[in-house]
Structure formats: C-alpha cells, structure tokens
Structure 1
Amino acid sequence: MTSNNYSIIFSSVTGNTKKLADTIHETLPQDMCDYFGGNELQVPESDLLYIGFWTDKGNADNKTLELLSKLKNKKIFLFGTAGFGGSNTYFNKILEQVRQSIDSSNEVIGAYMCQGKMPQSVRDRYIKMKENPEHPANLDMLIENFDRALSHPDADDLERLKKTL
C-alpha cells in the first residue's frame, strides 16, 4: 500500500451516509481503494481515510467516535448527514464536536455534511406530541424540517460533495 491509497469507512442507519460514501467511492480512483464498507472499528492501513457518520445528538454516532479516537497519524476527510439541517452553521458545529475526538497526530484534510432524511417514526412522534395541548412551540417547524429532509441527500448534495474531494 502506498500513501496514495485510501479507505472509505462509514456508519449509516437510514442509508443517507452510505449514499455519500458511494459517491466518494465512485468519484475517486477505484484501484486505490484499500477498503470500502461499514465501520467495524478496525483501523485501516491506508494513510488517507474518508470517514462517514450519521449525527446523534449533535455529534457523530458512538461507533464513529470510537473509531476516530483510535486513529493516529492519518489524513482524514469527514463526511456526514444530519436530519436537522440546511444550515452550514449547524453542520460546522457538528463537525467541531466530531473533531474533538480526533487525536492531534491526525490531519483533517476536509469535511462535508448535508441533510439526510429521518425515519418516519420521528414524524409520527412529532404528530403525537401535537395532541398534547402543552406541546413545544417549535413542533410545526420540526415537522416542516422533517418533510424538507425527505429528499436528502439529493443530487445537489452529492454534486457539492464531489466538488469537495
């Protein structure tokens, strides 16, 4: 393996982050890919790692954070999806949280985030909450965000990702 080889490791529950991983894999030279697949918490030999995550409470999912904490002397490109989105400010806050789990011997060479659809159970929970007369004031906004997220990641999201590689 040479330092030009890379691995793409991702965690994806609803398929959103896998769409991003597939796009990265299709865009980069296939013959340079050492590993493409789910996060098995094994540190790949590649010096360049594309690490994908789904957002859990404003940070990467726990499995991704665990992998990131094991890495030393790697070049890392982070990519992720978040159900609540549309705002680069929000995405940057998430990425800053994720970076805190990365050892200083590593170099983050890039990052990309976009909105991703959420499971229908989330919307169902919001609708049920509306039945309560004392429901949160932002519930309609949350439902609108859910509905906007249904198409993501979309073609524009994937095109923007390609441009960051």
Structure 2
Amino acid sequence: MKRESYSIVFSSLTGNTKKLADVIHETLPKNECDYFGAIEAQVPQSKLLYVGFWTDKGNADHKTLELLSKLKNKKIFLFGTAGFGGSDVYFQKILGQIRQSIDSSNVVVGEYMCQGKMPQSVRERYLRMKENPEHPANLDMLIDNFDHALSHPDMDDLQGLQTAITKE
C-alpha cells in the first residue's frame, strides 16, 4: 500500500497499548503523521487511522468503540492488548467483536493484538477469591496467566507489531 498521511489514536488504561502506539509512531515516517495521542472526541481527518485499544470484557474499551462507531470512509489498522492472552483464537474473537462496531464504509487494512500486563489488584482479587472454599476451578490458571502477562508487551510482541504494520 502506498504510504499516506495517517493518525495514531489509542486508549491505554495501564500503558500497554501506549507502548504499541509508540512502536507504530517510531516505525512509520513521522512527517506523514497528522496526529498521535489519546482518543479525543474529534475524529482525526487522516484517511488512514491506527486505532489502539485495551480489552474490556472481550471487546475494545468504551472510548475506542465510540470512536470506531463515528468513522466513515477510513482505512483502519486495529491494534490492542488483552490481559488474558497468548491465544490467537481469543484475540480473533475480540477483533471480531470490535469489527462489528465499524461502519461498512471503512476498510480494516490490518490488525494486531498481544498480551499486556494487568494491574496488581487483579492478582490480589484472584487470591482473595481463592480463600473461598467454593472458588472457581480455573483460578490457578488465571493466576498463572496473570504472572505470565507481567512481561508483556515484550520485545517479541513489539517486533510482531512492527512486522504487521510494515507489510500492510
């Protein structure tokens, strides 16, 4: 695809998605970037938008979904993070949910997701739940996932994103 002016807009609760946005900004020609920053009420004018999100209950966060619902006739590259990760099937399910919020006049030109670390309060909540004798059977798996997520996004994740945006 011929390079054109673009904007990078993102919502980042814990800083994971901002790390991805920074990699995109560092990789693409800065002189073609119209806007880089948090999602605002106003829709960027660029035809090509890199839209970053954090995952909230299996979908993009509210700010991102609100922005996506306003977009018309744009090329969109979706990128995001999910605390519960490591599974392409799970990531594809999330991306499928998000695509439902995108008007058909837009074209999704690429997608990238990776795992991201979660706030320590999540692990503490899991540990409190474990004190209950009737805790969910998958709690140990959730704690293991939390511990694994602490290093993400890692260098492999960031390089994967660079590859995804440069091949579009």
Q: Name the structure 1 match of 2:162.
A: 162
Q: Name the structure 1 match of 2:34.
A: 34
- Partner AA of 1:35 in structure 2: Y
Q: Name the structure 1 match of 2:59.
A: 59
Q: Name the structure 1 match of 2:19.
A: 19
What do the CA deviations read for 1:23-75 (whole angstroms, capped 9, x no partner)? 00000000000000000131111000000000000000011000000000000
Distance 1:42 1:60 in 2: 19
* TM-score with structure 2 setting the length: 0.96
> After TM superposition, what 4+ stretches of structure 1 lie above 3 angstroms from structure 2?
none
* TM-score with structure 1 setting the length: 0.98
- Partner AA of 2:50 in structure 1: Y
The secondary structure found in structure 1 opposite 2:67 is helix
The secondary structure found in structure 1 opposite 2:132 is coil
The offset of 1:88, in angstroms, is: 0.2
Q: Name the structure 2 match of 1:131.
A: 131
What do the CA deviations read for 1:125-152 (whole angstroms, capped 9, x no partner)? 0000010000000000000000000000
Q: Using the aligned pairs only, state the percent identity.
A: 78
What do the CA deviations read for 1:53-110 (whole angstroms, capped 9, x no partner)? 0000000001100000000000000000000000000000000000000000000000
The secondary structure found in structure 2 opposite 1:35 is strand
Distance 1:104 1:112 in 2: 20
RMSD of Structure 2 on Structure 1 (CA): 0.7
Q: Name the structure 2 match of 1:7.
A: 7
Distance 2:17 2:72 in 1: 24
